[in-house]
Amino acid sequence: MTPPTTDLLLSGGDVLLHEGQWRVARADVEVREGRIWAVRGSGGRADGEQRPLTVRDCSGCLVMPGLIQAHVHLCQTLFRGLADDLPLEAWLARRIWPLESAHTDESVYWSAMLGAAELLLGGTTAILDMETVRHTGAAFAALERIGIRATAGKCLMDAHPEGAPLDLAESTDGALAEAQQLAERWHGAANGRLRYCFAPRFAPACSGPLLRAASDLAERFGAQLHTHAAETIVERQTVARSTGLGEIAYLESVGITGPRAVLAHCVWVDAEEIARLAAQQTNLVHCPSSNLKLGSGIARVPEMLEAGCGVALGADGAPCNNRLDVFAEMRLAALIQKPRLGAEALPAGEVLEVATLGGADALGLGDELGSIAVGKRADLVVLDLRGPHLVPASGDVVSHLVYAAQPSDVRDVFVDGRPVVLGGELLTASLDEIVREAERRATELRGRVGMG
Ligand SMILES: [Zn+2]
């Protein structure tokens, strides 16, 4: 059988390479069977013995690795603008949990399509996603159709923090049984583009046995563990009160630790916990917009990187951001450290590593994603450098990416070498249909919770 024709030559662009540090070279990127086959100096010819390539002219553009967001909630995209100006605990209890409870298969499907469309059009090629408690199969169906690389999981909750709706929390065994069925169906689907993660919401909403069993299942399936940790001071105090341990020590005691574990936020961790997370090789995900908007605090990312922690980046969900714009997250990640530590803190090159290589490690795909290197999967973005806010393009392109670029600069997006966005147009689904259906499902959903 002939493999799908994703063979491609991205010619004449500036190519962003990572060899210890970022470097830009004028080169052609050759893609075969979904992987990066060669990076050649411009003017080099593709191997004539091979099948013909589709040639895409990239002059005036930057060919760069797809950006990775290692903490998003696509199920919340329909909640955009419905939960502003609240701290985390009220945001969850008064808005997010009632809205998640009111989801149907259809609303979860279109919420995922809407979020994934925004992500792909804005240059994000891979995500780690936490869905809600129910309807996760519908989210996977959307992810399969739209063509983004995604590791997603059903949200696990079996205990009720004060104010949480009883109908979201499940029995421990029931939650785990459904998670296992979803992993059997989706982990490795779509030629490995889709993967499953076990996703306990956060320690206050989960029993110890649920957390331990999620860790065991992740090990068994070779899957990631995706949760929130140390997001607010209230969360930290709640965990200390109920377990007698610091939050990171508690998570370690139930197996949420090590390279499989991905902890979103970690705003409220001390120096000893940062050292412990680094030694464990636990992945951390920085979500600067979300942390600022919910008033949670500022994660000590430079200290985490200095200690050797793996750090990735994420927009979190639409109701706490309210965009899923990785360029905004990169810019903010750099800016918010500077008043605290000085203007030298977290330079652009480090932020870009967090949004590429750090994300790849958080997905457990460090050998497959995160940079343009021969043999890696061809998850690539072609960025148009000709917008006035990116001139002079002869300057520092890494600086442009972090401080100046925006989603509308994204021209083409490839996942596994397959074009999903060309010339700023989504190819895998109709954007008009996504917007229309998302609007309709959001109106119905608000009606069901009396926020009409
Ligand atoms: Zn989150």
- Summarised one tens digit per residue, pLDDT across range 294-330 is 999 999 999 999 999 999 999 999 999 999 999 999 9
- What separation in Å is there between the alpha carbon of 78 and the centre of ligand 1? 15
Strands 283-286 and 261-265 turn out to be parallel
- What separation in Å is there between the alpha carbon of 318 and the centre of ligand 1? 10
- What separation in Å is there between the alpha carbon of 290 and the centre of ligand 1? 8
- Summarised one tens digit per residue, pLDDT across range 243-282 is 999 999 999 999 999 999 999 999 999 999 999 999 999 9
- What separation in Å is there between the alpha carbon of 439 and the centre of ligand 1? 23
- What separation in Å is there between the alpha carbon of 72 and the centre of ligand 1? 6
Radius of gyration of the chain (CA): 21
- What separation in Å is there between the alpha carbon of 129 and the centre of ligand 1? 9
- What separation in Å is there between the alpha carbon of 386 and the centre of ligand 1? 35
Locus of tokens 């070779």? 222
Distance CA 308, CA 279 (A): 8
- What separation in Å is there between the alpha carbon of 226 and the centre of ligand 1? 10
- Among the listed residues 93, 108, 25, 34, the one whose alpha carbon sits nearest the alpha carbon of residue 62: 25
- What separation in Å is there between the alpha carbon of 249 and the centre of ligand 1? 21
Q: Provide CB contacts within 8 A for 150, sequence distance 6+.
A: 116, 126, 127, 128, 129, 143, 193, 194, 195
Rounded average pLDDT over 141-165: 90
- What separation in Å is there between the alpha carbon of 24 and the centre of ligand 1? 34
pLDDT band of 42, cuts 50, 70, 90:
low
Residue 162 has pLDDT above 80, yes or no: no
Q: Specify the pLDDT at position 239.
A: 95
- Among the listed residues 70, 67, 88, 69, the one whose alpha carbon sits nearest the alpha carbon of residue 319: 88
Residue 337 has pLDDT above 80, yes or no: yes
- Summarised one tens digit per residue, pLDDT across range 346-380 is 999 999 999 999 999 999 999 999 999 999 999 99
Distance CA 382, CA 415 (A): 12
- For residue 230, the one-letter residue type is A
- What separation in Å is there between the alpha carbon of 79 and the centre of ligand 1? 13
